[in-house]
């Protein structure tokens, strides 16, 4: 038991908990949070800096801080794919997301499934988008809890009680404060995270003899792994690396929690500024990734690669500062977990329950239902972590990116043209989902890089990319057929000026 580290950890966790409950009163309108737009999107009121902290806290999760270095610690250079993928994501965000924000704001849409419903007038396509989002979020929320459990275990807190307590705290202030709670906590989390990374990348290399020594030792240690790793990419890894970056970037902006954070901005210019400012987090991510090599050079030995960073801090830092760093990681789990549960609740309330009710819920009824569903989502994620082995949760999350990428034709292409037929899009989505899932399942859910056999050659690539290409091929072909027959065009509830 690391008593000093635990005491420091508890202090910062308590501070964040108080901030989460106080957020209920922050920028709250006189009418309170009695609508889904107020509770789930904070009234679309966030400016540039709050959005920057919120989106950053949403995309760079506790599991990112743990998993990216763990990938470098266990496999070497392949883990660096996370860096080019976020670099690709922000120009994509600059082009697509302000346009989607404008349409959603003008029509009162709270989710991307709302947008698809309005754009194509097809209930079943909107339901497919909502179901995909909720399916992809469940293991993602569970992984935030897995990240917290790794931190607790490193400090000597074994068993499930600490995780359950942390979950109950998260559930309570998310219920009362909605999206305002993670927005406030994200500011605290980012300050702590930057202090942690600055100390780690400056002090640890000094202690270990510099980066040249760290890279040399890391490369030597990786060569002893099974299978052997390296700090350099091998030629046979090039295609897998690049498609992981491209496919992950496509999926990143389509995740429901990303859309929720972006739709909370007060105008499109806020999103454009953030697309320009958020690459600061990419720089931070590159520094965080190096902690995997630093852990190898420091002699951290563990079979659980996810524990490499917490064990590194406890080994190399004074215990009080290690507690601060572990608190930063745990707080980094609270922000995305809260946003993800809110996003799932929004999808269920608006696009599943709302689609099949004969009478529309009132504003208060929508927000109350969403609050209850957000609790149920957290209970589901907690059960996922407690009842199933941790590797299963990690492997299931591999499917998340594959599934979410299949929303690209309906959402991103739909933001620029109404040419696609909604029934064709639904068939393309089904084909992409089926083939992507089949590819991941054939690998035993242990990898998402699938060896595709084409034209006498083998091409190892991220399964989301070929699945999306099949989706696009079927969507386009069926659209041509259905347009020629003038069948199932649907109706567009949005107006041309919404996209200006």
What does the domain layout of the chain look like in residue ranges? 3-394
d(CA 359, CA 346): 18
Here the tokens at position 329 are 């990681």
Q: Is the CB of residue 340 less than 8 Å from the CB of residue 355? A: no
What confidence tens digit (pLDDT) does each residue in 346-374 have?
999 999 988 887 777 788 888 888 889 98
Residue 390's pLDDT is what? 63
Q: Which residues of 301-335 are buried (b: 16+ CB within 10 A; e: fewer)?
A: ebeebbbbbbbbbbebbebebbbbbbbbbbbbbbb
d(CA 366, CA 41): 13
Mean pLDDT in residue range 53-75: 83
- Ranges assigned E (strand) in 180-253: none
Residue positions counted in the chain:
500
- Whether 159 has a pLDDT exceeding 70, the answer reads yes
Residue 85's pLDDT is what? 87
Q: Which residues of 183-213 are buried (b: 16+ CB within 10 A; e: fewer)?
A: bbbbbbbbebbeebbebbbeebbeebeebee
Three-state secondary-structure class, residue 458? strand
Three-state secondary-structure class, residue 450? strand
- Whether 419 has a pLDDT exceeding 90, the answer reads yes
d(CA 21, CA 338): 13
pLDDT category at 32 given cuts 50, 70, 90 is low
Residue 42's pLDDT is what? 84
Average pLDDT value over all residues in the chain: 88
Residue 276's pLDDT is what? 92
Q: Is the CB of residue 265 less than 8 Å from the CB of residue 44? A: yes
Residue 344's pLDDT is what? 92
d(CA 147, CA 162): 13
CB proximity list for 390: less than 8 A, separation 6 or greater? 146, 149, 306
Specify the DSSP element, H or E, that contains 46.
none
- Alpha helices (H) in 290-389, listed in sequence order: 291-297, 308-316, 319-347, 354-356, 363-387
Here the tokens at position 200 are 């780690």
pTM of the predicted model as reported, rounded to 2 decimal places? 0.91
Residue 153's pLDDT is what? 85
Q: Is the CB of residue 177 less than 8 Å from the CB of residue 403? A: no
- Whether 291 has a pLDDT exceeding 80, the answer reads yes
> How far does Cα 276 stand from its chain's mean position?
19
By C-alpha distance, which of 462, 401, 371 is closest to 250?
401
- Whether 180 has a pLDDT exceeding 80, the answer reads yes
Mean pLDDT in residue range 385-398: 67
Mean pLDDT in residue range 265-285: 89
Helix axes 256-263, 319-347, angle to 10 degrees: 90
The architecture of the domain spanning 3-394 is Up-down Bundle (1.20)
């Amino acid at each position: 038991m690391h008593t000093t580290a635990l005491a420091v950890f508890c202090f910062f966790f308590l501070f964040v908990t108080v901030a989460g409950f106080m957020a209920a009163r922050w920028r709250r309108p006189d009418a309170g949070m009695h609508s889904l737009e107020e509770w789930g999107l904070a009234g679309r009121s966030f400016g540039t800096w709050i959005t920057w902290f919120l989106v950053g806290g949403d995309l760079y999760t506790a599991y990112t801080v743990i998993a990216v270095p763990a990938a470098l610690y266990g496999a070497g250079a392949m883990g660096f794919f996370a860096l080019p993928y976020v670099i690709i994501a922000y120009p994509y965000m600059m082009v697509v997301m302000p346009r989607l924000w404008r349409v959603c704001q003008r029509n009162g849409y709270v989710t991307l499934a709302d947008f698809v419903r309005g754009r194509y007038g097809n209930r079943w396509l909107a339901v497919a988008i909502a179901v995909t989002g909720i399916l992809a979020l469940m293991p993602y929320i569970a992984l935030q809890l897995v990240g917290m459990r790794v931190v607790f275990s490193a400090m000597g807190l074994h068993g499930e009680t600490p995780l359950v307590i942390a979950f109950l705290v998260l559930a309570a202030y998310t219920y009362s404060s909605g999206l305002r709670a993670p927005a406030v906590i994200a500011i605290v989390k980012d300050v702590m995270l930057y202090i942690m990374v600055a100390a780690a990348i400056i002090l640890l290399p000094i202690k270990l003899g510099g980066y040249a020594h760290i890279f040399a030792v890391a490369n030597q240690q990786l060569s002893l792994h099974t299978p052997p790793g390296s700090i350099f990419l091998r030629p046979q890894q090039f295609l897998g690396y690049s498609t992981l970056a491209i496919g992950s970037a496509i999926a990143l902006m389509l995740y429901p929690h990303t859309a929720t954070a972006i739709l909370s901005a007060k105008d499109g210019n806020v999103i454009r500024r953030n697309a320009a400012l958020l690459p600061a987090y990419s720089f931070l991510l590159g520094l965080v990734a190096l902690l995997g090599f630093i852990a190898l050079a420091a002699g951290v030995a563990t079979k659980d690669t996810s524990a490499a960073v917490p064990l590194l801090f406890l080994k190399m830092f004074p215990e009080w500062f290690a507690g601060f760093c572990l608190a930063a990681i745990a707080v980094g789990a609270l922000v995305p977990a809260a946003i993800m549960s809110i996003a799932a609740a929004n999808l269920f309330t608006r696009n599943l329950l709302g689609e099949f009710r004969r009478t529309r819920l009132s504003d208060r009824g929508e927000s109350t239902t969403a609050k209850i569903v957000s609790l149920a989502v957290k209970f589901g994620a907690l059960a996922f972590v407690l009842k199933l082995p941790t590797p299963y949760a990690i492997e299931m999350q591999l499917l998340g990116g594959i599934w979410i990428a299949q929303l690209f034709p309906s959402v991103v292409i739909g933001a620029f043209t109404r040419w696609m037929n909604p029934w064709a899009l639904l068939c393309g989505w089904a084909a992409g989902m089926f083939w992507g899932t089949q590819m991941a399942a054939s690998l035993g859910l242990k990898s998402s890089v699938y060896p595709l056999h084409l034209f006498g050659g083998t091409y190892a690539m991220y399964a989301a990319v070929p699945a999306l290409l099949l989706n696009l091929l079927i969507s386009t072909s069926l659209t041509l057929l259905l347009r020629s027959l003038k069948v199932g065009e649907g109706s567009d509830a949005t107006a041309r000026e919404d996209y200006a």
